[in-house]
Structure 1
Amino acid sequence: MGEVSVMGRVIREMIAHVTNDNLIGRKIKTGELRKKLVEPKWRCPDCFYMEEIELPRFRMEYLSSREAPRNDYVILQLHGGGYIGAMRNAYRSFAGLYCEVSKGMSVLTIDYRVAPEDPYPAALEDAVEAFGWLKEAGWHSRQIIVAGDSAGGGLALALCMYLKDQNRRLPGGLILMSPWADLTASGPSYEDNYERDPLFGNTRDSLIYNREYIGCHNPKEPYISPMFGDYWGFPPMLIQAGSVEMLLSDSVGVAYKAKKQGVKVRLSIYEGMFHVFQMGMMMMPESKDAWREIGRYFEVVTGT
Structure 2
Amino acid sequence: MTRSQLDAVSDLLLNSPLDLGGDVATMRRVFEEVLGAGPLPGDVRTRKTDLGGVPAVEVRAGGTAAAAGTLLYFHGGAYAIGSAAAGVGLASEIARRTAATALSVDYRLAPEHPFPAAVDDALAAYRTLLARGTPADSIAVTGESAGGGLALALLLAIRDTGLPQPSSASVLSPWTDLTQSGGTMATRADADPALTRRALETRAADYLAGADPRTPLASPLHADLRGLPPLLIQAGGREILLDDALRLAARAAHADVPVTLRIFPEAPHVFQGFAPLVDEAAEALDQIAAFVTGHLRPSTCSAQGA
TM-score by length of 1: 0.88
Output aligned runs, 1:243-262, within 5 Å. Answer: 243-262=237-256
Taking structure 1 as reference, are residues 11 and 71 closer, same or farther at Cα in structure 2, changes over 3 Å only? Answer: closer
**Runs of 5+ consecutive residues of structure 2 not aligned to the other structure:** 299-306
Output the CA distance in 2 between the equivalents of 1:81 and 1:253. 21
1:62 is matched with: 58
Q: CA deviation at 1:41?
A: 10
Q: How far does the alpha carbon of each residue in 1:223-248 deviate from its partner, in whole angstroms, 9 at most, with x for none? A: 00000001112111111001110011
Output aligned runs, 1:207-222, within 5 Å. Answer: 207-210=200-203, 211-222=205-216
Q: Is the 8 A contact 1:190 1:246 kept in 2?
A: yes
Q: 2:164 aligns with which of 169, 178, 189?
A: 169
2:49 maps to 1:53: yes
Taking structure 1 as reference, are residues 5 and 111 closer, same or farther at Cα in structure 2, changes over 3 Å only? Answer: same
2:27 is matched with: 34
Q: Which amino acid aligns with 1:243?
A: G
Q: 2:113 is paired with a residue of what secondary structure?
A: coil
2:266 maps to 1:272: yes
2:116 maps to 1:128: no
Q: Is the 8 A contact 1:34 1:81 kept in 2?
A: no
Structure 1 segments of 4+ aligned residues over 4 angstroms from their partners: 38-46, 54-57
Percent sequence identity is: 29
Q: Is the 8 A contact 2:169 2:231 kept in 1?
A: yes
Q: 2:126 is paired with a residue of what secondary structure?
A: helix
Output aligned runs, 1:289-304, within 5 Å. Answer: 289-302=283-296
Taking structure 1 as reference, are residues 53 and 299 closer, same or farther at Cα in structure 2, changes over 3 Å only? Answer: closer
Q: 1:272 is paired with a residue of what secondary structure?
A: coil
Q: CA deviation at 1:79?
A: 0.6
Q: How far does the alpha carbon of each residue in 1:147-195 deviate from its partner, in whole angstroms, 9 at most, with x for none? A: 0000000001000101111111111100100010000000111111111
Q: Which amino acid aligns with 1:96?
A: S
2:302 is matched with: none
Q: Is the 8 A contact 1:143 1:171 kept in 2?
A: yes
Equivalences, count: 293
Output the CA distance in 2 between the equivalents of 1:113 and 1:185. 23
1:237 is matched with: 231
Q: How far does the alpha carbon of each residue in 1:95-150 deviate from its partner, in whole angstroms, 9 at most, with x for none? A: 21111111x11011111110111111110111011111211222111211000000
Q: How far does the alpha carbon of each residue in 1:80-102 deviate from its partner, in whole angstroms, 9 at most, with x for none? A: 10000131654111221111111
Q: 2:88 aligns with which of 66, 75, 92?
A: 92
Higher RCO by CA contacts (8 Å cutoff, separation 6 or greater)? 2
Taking structure 1 as reference, are residues 77 and 244 closer, same or farther at Cα in structure 2, changes over 3 Å only? Answer: same
Q: Is the 8 A contact 1:178 1:251 kept in 2?
A: yes
Q: Is the 8 A contact 1:234 1:263 kept in 2?
A: yes
TM-score by length of 2: 0.88
Q: 1:222 is paired with a residue of what secondary structure?
A: coil
Taking structure 1 as reference, are residues 274 and 62 closer, same or farther at Cα in structure 2, changes over 3 Å only? Answer: same
Q: CA deviation at 1:281?
A: 2.3
Taking structure 1 as reference, are residues 168 and 31 closer, same or farther at Cα in structure 2, changes over 3 Å only? Answer: farther
Q: Is the 8 A contact 1:78 1:109 kept in 2?
A: yes
Q: CA deviation at 1:287?
A: 0.8
Output the CA distance in 2 between the equivalents of 1:82 and 1:64. 26
2:198 is matched with: 205
Taking structure 1 as reference, are residues 183 and 28 closer, same or farther at Cα in structure 2, changes over 3 Å only? Answer: closer
Farther off after superposition, 34-43 or 110-119: 34-43
2:105 is matched with: 110
